[in-house]
Structure 1
Amino acid sequence: MGSYAHPEMVVTTDWLADHLEDPSIRIIEVSSLGELTYPDGHIPGAVHWPWRESLWDQKMREFVLPSDFAQSLSRSGVSPETTIIFYSDRCQFGTYALWTCLLRGHTHVKVLDGSRTRWVQDGLPMTTEVPRITPGNYPIRAPNETWRISRDGVLAGLGNPDRVILDGRTPEEYKGLRVKPEPGFDHGAERKGHIPGAKHLFYDELVNEDETWRPVEELRKAYEARGATPDKDIVTYCRLSHRATFLWFTAYFLLGYPRVRSYDGSWTEWGSMVGMPIENPSLS
């Protein structure tokens, strides 16, 4: 069995259980449901980051500004030397936080393989105690846009044989039957469908039932089946880019693909922009 290209980017539940008292790390739970999971139980020592409030700017559709992110890291007791271990109640929110962290210049980051799901399944300790954190003084860092692509960049590359666009949403979203995953009110964009030429790779195909990543051979096979090979320029997207970052992380860090970027505007932007081309198989 092969190994991941960058296994150091992922930690196991056993490793984290042995490092709960390690002062060089900071564990951060990125909640997809706001306040609904963290108070009921979290990994001991974990700081709580509700995803939208922590990772987005509060006034405009943009990621948290470098100055605000530095303040957030400071409040969380993170220094430039601290290694952050991200996890969530849904695995894609951990990679989303990691991607945002790299965007804002903090590179000492890892994700917990299996996230909260595997931790609970393994019967490892949970607590309702909120840790007391000594605030730091994290410096503002220059953004790093290496792994980000805008709508204009995606649009300009349509039809380019060197590029493969991967859509990480559910089959229903990709086929143009829904804008968001079931259940609930269907909302998030003005139009249904997918970006022209995009190949469907539902992020759920990359994980086991406990949300740990599948073996590297299975991951590689899934990407290659969509024409996404190491020589291609890979763009990932979904609805809000959480699942997109999961595809990005898998391709870049686990498979070692050199050219992978996430389109963070994703379908909520593309499907609502005037004049953007769309493919909708449900209308054929």
Structure 2
Amino acid sequence: MFIHVLGSGAGGGFPQWNCNCNNCKGVREGTVNALPRTQSSIAVSANGEDWILFNASPDIKKQLDAFPAIQPARQVRDTAIKAILLTDAQIDHTTGLFTLREHNQPWDIYCTEAVHEDMTTGLPIFNILGHFRGVNWHEIKTDQQPFTMPAALGLEFTAVPLKSEAPPYSPHRHNTVPGDNIGIRIHDTRSGKNVFYAPGLGIVEEHVLNYMRDADCILMDGTVWTDDEMSREGISDKRATEMGHINQSEAGGSVSILNSLEKPRKILIHINNTNPILNEDSPERKILNEAGIELAYDGMDLEY
């Protein structure tokens, strides 16, 4: 399988347009050694020609322009995107669908029933797309049974229910249901390799840990370093746990969890602009480097 990281940042990207935290101010002024990042999304392919888009961020235009393989230009209107999979209904994972409204046929979109409800009520993007070419909805079940897509022969996908948080406009906010947020196990039946993708993750339950143990590569929620990171920067009183994200540094956080795993390659994705690990010269980044934990970056390519 081929995986291309279109975007690796959290909501707002990095630097965020209105943010003057240490990271954002520093990267603008050139005093912080860090790579800018757009909002998180990946593209997955079985053959390197036909691609499945995982989430559609508000930065999708810039991301597609930076990835020539996804615009093969075989005809006047063309794309190599064959289907779209949504892991949740968050703004930073769905509003890029507006940019994709000019497709020449209905989009095949895969998501859970819970996400479909949000996308037709609280954030009715699917309804709006119905005024253009429309949407063919393919329901993703949360029973952890593998499913396939016609455009990705050789790949099997398994939706893994995650403990996180539903969007603010969701009827499930603070009362989540299975399917509000999923991770995806992507298994290549030819190579036998599998990648576990979970850009939004609040708690690592035992069944999730089992998928991590078995993975050859993990692309995991890397939003914040500490649970109170936003308040430390004077941005918000909300803790990461309230927003459905696990922190990296504390006991039971993602660093300690990843350190307990021997098999997989470990990569953090969906990194918030406030996270000190974005600074490649920071002590926090040194901790990750010494642990063998990588940061996803825009344009990163993986092959398994």
Answer whether TM exceeds 0.5 for this pair: no
- Relative to total residues, which structure has the larger strand share, 1 or 2? 2
TM-score w.r.t. the length of structure 1 is: 0.29
TM-score scaled to structure 2, two decimals?
0.28
Would you tell me which structure has more helix in proportion to its own residues? 1
